[in-house]
Amino acid sequence: MARLAYLGVLVFVFVGTLWLEVALNTRVYRRWRRLALAVLPAVVLFVAWDLYAIAAGHWHFDARRMVGIVFAGGLPLEELLFFLVIPVAGVLTLEAVRSATGWRVGDEPPAGAEPRANPPPGQSA
């Protein structure tokens, strides 16, 4: 059972924030391109950082707490999933706060305005 510890924490975080998509209509998963643009740069950066740190011997992962799937360079599955799950949970939480409070961050059309047919690159309609 200890082999599922890291994965279990990630599943808990994922499930713990998943309901925000439905209950508060955050539309995070429906705007998957926008989500990918927000998350993937961090994934690339932190995977590279991890691979460097593993190769340099700066840190390692407790194999007793992992399922045993390891990618090239010694990166465990759980670590890669961490770099995906935690940022997505953060975006879901931010969008839930925005949904509940009406907080605007500047990427929304003005109240009552129709969304543009062709939004600028990097923005969704």
Residue 37 located in a structural domain: yes
> Residue 114's pLDDT is what?
62
Tell me how long the chain is: 125
Residue 74 located in a structural domain: yes
Q: Does pLDDT of 36 surpass 80? A: yes
Encode pLDDT of 40-86 as tens digits: 999 999 999 999 999 999 988 988 889 999 999 999 999 999 999 99
Residue 117 located in a structural domain: no
Residue 75 located in a structural domain: yes
Residue 9 located in a structural domain: yes
Q: Does pLDDT of 125 surpass 80? A: no
- The dihedrals phi and psi of 72, each to the nearest 5 degrees, come to -55, 140
Residue 17 located in a structural domain: yes
> Residue 59's pLDDT is what?
87
Percent of the chain with pLDDT over 90: 58
CA angle 57, 62, 68 (to 5 degrees): 105
State how far the alpha carbon of 61 is from the alpha carbons of 3, 12, 45, 77, 111, in Å: 12, 20, 19, 11, 49
Encode pLDDT of 77-122 as tens digits: 999 999 999 999 999 999 999 888 888 876 666 666 665 555 556 6
CA angle 22, 28, 29 (to 5 degrees): 80
Domains held by the chain: number: 1
Residue 125 located in a structural domain: no
- Give residue 89's domain range: 2-100
> Residue 121's pLDDT is what?
60
> Residue 82's pLDDT is what?
96
Residue 110 located in a structural domain: no
